[in-house]
Structure 1
Amino acid sequence: MSGPRPTVRRRRLAELLTALREEAGKSQEDAAERLGCHRSKVNRIENGRLGISLGELRDLLNYYGVKDQAQVDELVQLARRGREPGWVRRASLARPTYADFIGYEETANYIRSYEVSLIAGLLQTADYARAVLEAAPTALGSDKIDSLVTARMERQGVLNRDEPPRLCVIQHETSLRQLVGGREVMRGQLSHLLETVRHPCVSLQVIPDGVGAHAGLFGPFVMFRFPNPTFSDVVCVEHRTGTLYMETPEETEEYTLIFDSLRSLALSPADSADLIRQALSSL
């Protein structure tokens, strides 16, 4: 009988602790000896199956040579709140906190994304991303927008790694026709899509406007799957004031069914590319 699935925060803490141990050149046996426990306990902590006390956490961080106080504080907060099954990260656009989302993006080996009116973040151009941010009713300021655009472009680096994640994107045709930033920006964006879909790990399918009612009418979402089989999938639904993360089997299975249903309605990748070319030619 399997144990409880790791929570979102505990999963993140496990990933960071494992990375810090490896960076320090320590083994799980070394960590266990430091804590005075069996290696199996360290293994369960690093798989997200077991929480860690704040005393043990601080002892390990000291053992791993972690000196950055901000990093220590982040890990302490993750440990304190690690029993919570999911949460809404309250964050206005003026003070965005994308650390968890980016962490999932960087560690996932399979990303599924469904978008309606916007181009998926990993496929956006800088000009398109800037136009989206400038459309926010709350003024962000040029410096903040610059930093957010830079962060979005850096996120796309996951597709250029030696072992990039598999990225499967379903876009509604609306996103191809919406003149975000004007005609010139959209021409650049659609041309970029045609270039990106040549990537061997990227699949892009478009749902035509005329398809009618479908399972994606409730809005966009992103799903992450990880190489570690002990980590459950995570569903991310972004909204105006925060981000909702879901990971229970019932939630992830429901969104998997929705995504598969949308994929069955969407055009093939080749036909989707043709539709993008048509949208581009109309500009």
Structure 2
Amino acid sequence: MRRRRLATMLVRLREEAGKTPDQAAEQIGCHRSKISRIENAHLGISVGELRALLAFYEVTDPEYVEGLVGLARRSRERGWVQRLWNDLPSYADHIDYEQTADYIRSFQPLLISGLFQTGDYARALYRANPAMLGDDEIDRLVDVRMQRQTVLEGEQAPRICLIEGEAALRSNVGSARVMVPQLEHLLALAERPNVELQVLPLSAGAHPGLTGAFVVFGFPNPAFSDVVTVEHPTGTLYMETTEETSTYTLTFDSLRSVAMSPAASRDLIQRIKQGL
């Protein structure tokens, strides 16, 4: 209710100020779809973003501003995702997309998808980070990754199409003691009715996914465009224009056509597991 109330007030303030969603997005340096989700109460807003928008809408009454800031803080207290905004804002945006999407298409050529990772696999990845993260920070990041996977549960779980590169399955992350349970976990998830898992074999040679991993989020509200995320060492790139997203959806469809069938993919994963 708090988020809905705040969203309604933000729409009214923007319209009274004569500003468009595109202008609001430019003001806080985000995509238009984020403004749409904030205004439809599908996505929260950080205190910094809220203050910037209120200043842009020329809302100057200090008491009114602080009232809205307090409402924003209280609305964020309910969700674990919102608590990430202070120190992991880009990560929180990505997770919010996961939580609200009804269709997720993911291509992961070198790593197991974050939504499908075991805790030990995720921990091994973080320990390999050249940033030399401390144990406490690693524990926190692994906990966040495990919490993300709650989206896979329940009647409202999204449809997920995942293409894993064979290299990701054969890469000995951690050790065999890590990889065997990881591959078993992947096989178990692949049996779910909302999950379609395909493996892109090494024998595929040149293919349209050689530029790297990406995720395409689709949403139940037709007013929301698809969002594509591409992670890189310094952050996450978000794309939402039709020109950008259509390139990735076409790439994903092309990859599905050259990847192994779901049944053959499960057989390959089983053989790789048995060989460890």
**Which one of 146, 149, 154 corresponds to residue 156 of structure 1?**
149
Distance 1:256 1:95, change over 3 A: closer
Task: Give the structure 1 partner of residue 171 of structure 2.
Answer: 178
2:41 corresponds to 1:19: yes
2:115 corresponds to 1:115: no
Distance 1:67 1:248, change over 3 A: closer
Task: Give the structure 1 partner of residue 126 of structure 2.
Answer: 133
2:57 corresponds to 1:53: yes
**Which one of 187, 204, 212 corresponds to residue 205 of structure 2?**
212
Contact 1:117 1:172 in 2 (8 A): yes
Counterpart CA distance in 2 for 1:167 and 1:261 is 17
More helix by share: 2
Counterpart CA distance in 1 for 2:256 and 2:184 is 23
Across the two proteins, how many residue pairs are aligned to each other?
Answer: 230
Counterpart CA distance in 2 for 1:12 and 1:134 is 32
Contact 2:159 2:194 in 1 (8 A): yes
Counterpart CA distance in 2 for 1:120 and 1:60 is 41
Other structure's SS at 1:68 match: helix
Counterpart CA distance in 2 for 1:271 and 1:241 is 36
Q: Which has the higher contact order (CA 8 A, sep 6+)?
A: 1
Shift of 1:198: 1.1
Contact 2:21 2:32 in 1 (8 A): no
Distance 1:146 1:65, change over 3 A: closer
- Whichever residue aligns with residue 40 of structure 2, its letter is T
Shift of 1:62: 4.3
Contact 1:20 1:64 in 2 (8 A): no
TM-score (norm 1): 0.73
Distance 1:60 1:224, change over 3 A: farther
- Residue-by-residue CA offset, 1:44-66 (whole Å, 9 max, x unaligned): xxxxxxxx82639x969947971
Unaligned runs of 5+ in 2: 1-19, 44-55, 78-86
Shift of 1:228: 1.1
2:227 corresponds to 1:234: yes
Other structure's SS at 2:40 match: helix
TM-score (norm 2): 0.75
Task: Give the structure 2 partner of residue 68 of structure 1.
Answer: 73
Counterpart CA distance in 2 for 1:71 and 1:162 is 24
Unaligned runs of 5+ in 1: 22-51, 73-93
Other structure's SS at 2:144 match: helix
- Whichever residue aligns with residue 68 of structure 1, its letter is R
Task: Give the structure 1 partner of residue 243 of structure 2.
Answer: 250
Counterpart CA distance in 2 for 1:110 and 1:95 is 24
Shift of 1:13: 3.7
Other structure's SS at 1:114 match: strand
Counterpart CA distance in 2 for 1:11 and 1:253 is 16
Task: Give the structure 1 partner of residue 11 of structure 2.
Answer: none
Distance 1:255 1:217, change over 3 A: same
Distance 1:266 1:54, change over 3 A: farther
Counterpart CA distance in 2 for 1:17 and 1:261 is 35
Counterpart CA distance in 2 for 1:61 and 1:109 is 35
Identity of aligned residues (%): 50
Shift of 1:95: 6.0
Aligned-pair RMSD on alpha carbons?
3.1
Other structure's SS at 1:203 match: strand
Counterpart CA distance in 2 for 1:227 and 1:69 is 27
